[in-house]
Structure 1
Amino acid sequence: MKTIKVLSALFLAFQLTAYAQEKNDSNTPKTYAEISVKEGGKWVGQKYEGGTFKNVTSLKVPKSHWDHSFFIRYEGPGWESNKVGYRLYLDWRNAIDIFGKVTDSLVLSKVGQDGFESYHHMSSWGMDILKAGKALGIGSIGRFSGNEVLHFKEVDSTFAKVENGTKSSSVTVTYNGWKTAEDKIDLVSKLSIAPNERHTKHTIKASKKIKGICTGMVKFKDVELVKKESKNKKWAYIATYDKQTLVPDNLGMAIFYKVATVEAQPESQYDHLLVFKPTKKEVTFYFLGAWEQEKDGIKTKEEFYQYLDQKLAELNQTNKI
């Protein structure tokens, strides 16, 4: 009888320990978004000299800010899950870059504290793996003129904010007075990420209907673009998988979109594009990066496209992933 009581006590202790561990895991944040800017220094032309970084929850981008101004840590807001991280260049380029992670810990608060160069090299958490160049990177917004992608060179004001919750983290950017060609609009862009997921949900809303609003991803020479629609042609994706990182090694990239929202799929000099139909309604799409060095990640092209097909089926059934 005594032995049974001891075993029962040990089993109960094991159950309580497992429960406590599970509860602790569920309470541990698995997403994070931030924007960090310098204070205590000064602007010299379009460069910010001196100062130290401080996290803020919102930012109205100074008129002096341009690319490589050294004002915003890693050049814009960042967001991550326990699988992957992203950053948005909060300047005229407006491209989205990928932080590949070799850990399932949240790392963005450590990135770029010592300047721009360090995160372009492998560290204990991973590195910046995508070279966006003059392209949109992955999943960002531009306007296709028919010949080229117009970025955000003329904007009256840009306002960004970040939010962190238990179910997701997000970055919202409001562009007031974005001028391209003969049009001027306001555009709101919300980027959000959920725990245990690679994809970012991107919802955009324009203040008026104009042709050419687009998203896309950077294209690399000799890397095949794969396109697939669901059987009922409700959702679809475009994707690439190959050695397309700065390492270099294998990276899969994809954008999922609602077929009814897209007008055309042209190629620009630097991007595989999806051009949306003119609308003032919200448009939602999803994009993701899957790096071969990710912890417990996708290692082959076959695994990557199986993963995309599963996500496509999920979208087809539930209209969300």
Structure 2
Amino acid sequence: MKTKITIATLFLLVFSTVNAQKYDIKTAKTYAEISAKTDGKWENRKYIGGTVFKNVNQLKLSPEHTDHSFDIRYEGPGWESNKVGYRLYLDWRNAIDIFGKKTEAIILPEVGQDNFDSYHEMSDWGSDILKAGKGIGIGSIDRYLDNKKLHFYEVDSTIANVENKVKQSSVKIRYYGWKTASDKIDFTSELIIKPDQLYTEHKIKASKEIKGICTGIVKQKNTELLKKESKNKKWAYLATYGIQSLVPDKLGMAIFYETSTIENAVDAELDYLLVFKPATKAISFYFLGAWEQQPDGIKSQDEFVKYLNEKLELLNKKGKL
């Protein structure tokens, strides 16, 4: 006797298969988190007391929060693949930093647990390897207007979400009422990382067309600026390479961008910036850090350029990574 499989039955089979693939951090190759203290109290703009950091899927930023408030573990959300980790300073700086990993294991749950900023010291898993300072870090968002960077000093409210799936992890930040110059907008930033990859896809969207929304790479000493933009090609890259990690040792940083989305490139005091054309539709770009001590790490500028050119070719062919 033949069994007739209806569309509804087929849907249930597919649905069951997808949901059977549960996220397991022990075997995962990507991970995202945001971890905060909730049982202390605010004194001025510092969070005092509290026993443990608690991971949450969503966090609304406290109005008192600023840099070094000590309420959020490693100062914001973090995300990682089995190759590299990143974190975003969830305050006025809004810079993205790099965690260099010497292991393919998931490491973020242990970062900053023993001491608030212990990740600045090299450990078995690795360490923070980028000095962002007053710069943009790598691949984060700012606004550049009249030769000045306008940070996230004035925001009505900020909400961060994290999500972990079998094939990717992501962080989504929603900024409501971000005020710079005479403009006030809502802004969304989504950061997605996939297994076995160095890069993060960054999707951004503004509620209003304003000039000066930018991304970029913080300048460091002992580096070479690398660029590739070809006629009749949709994608290009901006990169730096050299002994620019905090170790110090070799680190490459890069941004892949669609040329049609960029108004101009700026060699600013602290950063190499890419300024986007005013837009309200979503824009995607990719950024990455390639550290020589990462698992199967890129150890020379020639290797780094080869890697960049391969990814660029794929982008120009398929339109995505």
Point out the more displaced range, 142-151 or 306-315: 142-151
User: 1:119-165, CA deviations, whole angstroms, 9 ceiling, x for partnerless residues?
Assistant: 00110100000000001100000000131211100000000000000
Superposed CA RMSD in Å reads 1.2
Quick one: distance in 2 between partners of 1:287 and 1:182?
30
Q: Which amino acid aligns with 2:65?
A: H
Quick one: distance in 2 between partners of 1:31 and 1:275?
30
Quick one: distance in 2 between partners of 1:72 and 1:192?
21
Match of 1:38 in 2: 37
Gaps of 5+ in 2: 1-23
Contact 2:221 2:244 in 1 (8 A): no
Point out the more displaced range, 230-239 or 134-143: 230-239
Gaps of 5+ in 1: 1-24
Contact 2:74 2:112 in 1 (8 A): yes
Quote how far apart the aligned CAs of 1:203 are.
Answer: 0.3
Quick one: distance in 2 between partners of 1:296 and 1:222?
23
Quick one: distance in 2 between partners of 1:60 and 1:122?
31
1:252 has 2:289 as partner: no
Quick one: distance in 2 between partners of 1:117 and 1:37?
14
Contact 2:222 2:242 in 1 (8 A): no
Query: 2:267 is paired with a residue of what secondary structure?
Result: coil
Match of 2:296 in 1: 296
Contact 1:149 1:268 in 2 (8 A): no
Quick one: distance in 1 between partners of 2:61 and 2:295?
35
Equivalenced residues, count = 296
TM-score when normalising by structure 1: 0.90
1:90 has 2:90 as partner: yes
Quote how far apart the aligned CAs of 1:223 are.
Answer: 2.0
Quote how far apart the aligned CAs of 1:226 are.
Answer: 1.1
Quote how far apart the aligned CAs of 1:297 are.
Answer: 1.1
Quote how far apart the aligned CAs of 1:116 are.
Answer: 2.9
User: 1:220-270, CA deviations, whole angstroms, 9 ceiling, x for partnerless residues?
Assistant: 234221110245231000001101111110000000000000000012211
Quick one: distance in 2 between partners of 1:240 and 1:172?
27
The share of aligned pairs that are identical, in percent, is 65
Higher Rg of the two aligned structures: 1
Quote how far apart the aligned CAs of 1:62 are.
Answer: 0.3
Quick one: distance in 2 between partners of 1:180 and 1:107?
36
Quick one: distance in 2 between partners of 1:241 and 1:49?
40
TM-score when normalising by structure 2: 0.90
Q: Which amino acid aligns with 1:282?
A: A
Contact 1:230 1:316 in 2 (8 A): no
Q: How does 1:127-142 map to 2 (within 5 A)?
A: 127-142=127-142
Query: 2:92 is paired with a residue of what secondary structure?
Result: coil
Quick one: distance in 2 between partners of 1:318 and 1:146?
36
Point out the more displaced range, 225-234 or 121-130: 225-234
Contact 2:81 2:194 in 1 (8 A): yes
